[in-house]
Amino acid sequence: MTATQHAIGVPAPQLSDDDLRHELDRLHATRHDTVVGGSEDALATHTRRMLELEAEYLTRFPVESAPDPARTRAGARRLAAGR
């Protein structure tokens, strides 16, 4: 493992599906603490890693990550209109 890998983790495309989900869960769980108590560097690193993992998740799991129709404007309008 290189110093870069240790600092930011294994590149997202190299993670197994389970590891990707685990890493993303962990980052989401620590986001608030990083925002309110972390340094600027820590927040920037956290943000880069979070975006990398989220992009990989969206690529691998397009069906799971598709928006709930009720959470889109068009879907909400259809629901409100009873269609």
Q: What is the pLDDT of residue 7?
A: 60
Q: Which helix (H) or strand (E) holds 44?
A: helix 40-60
Instruction: Please name the amino acid found at residue 42.
Output: A
Three-state secondary-structure class, residue 43: helix
Mind listing the pLDDT tens digit of every residue in the chain (83 residues)? 454 444 678 999 999 999 999 999 999 999 999 999 999 999 999 999 999 999 999 999 999 988 888 888 888 888 888 76
Question: Residue 6: its pLDDT value, please?
Answer: 47
Locate the domains of the chain by residue range. 10-81
Tokens of 2: 């290189």
CA-based nearest residue to 50, from 61, 42, 60, 40: 42
Quick one: pLDDT at residue 2? 52
